[in-house]
A = this chain, B = another copy of it.
Amino acid sequence: MSEDQLSRVFAALADPTRRDIVARLAVGDATVGQLAAPYNVSIQAVSKHLKVLEDAGLVSHSQDAQRRPRHLEANVFDMMTAWIERYRRQAEERYRRLDAVLASMDEESKPTINQGAAS
Contact = CB atoms under 8 A, between A and B. Distances in A.
Interface of A: 3, 6-8, 10-11, 13-16, 19, 22-23, 25-28, 54, 60-64, 69, 71-74, 77-78, 80-81, 83-88, 90-92, 94-95, 114-119
Nearest to A25: B91
Contacts of A71: 118
B27 A94 contact: yes
Contacts of A69: 114
Count of chain copies: 2
B119 A26 contact: no
B26 A87 contact: yes
When A and B form their complex, which 10 residue pairs have the shortest distance between CB atoms, in order from nearest? A62-B116, A60-B118, A11-B14, A74-B91, A10-B14, A26-B90, A77-B88, A26-B87, A10-B13, A26-B91
A80 to B, nearest CB: 6
Contacts of A63: 114, 116
B81 A115 contact: no
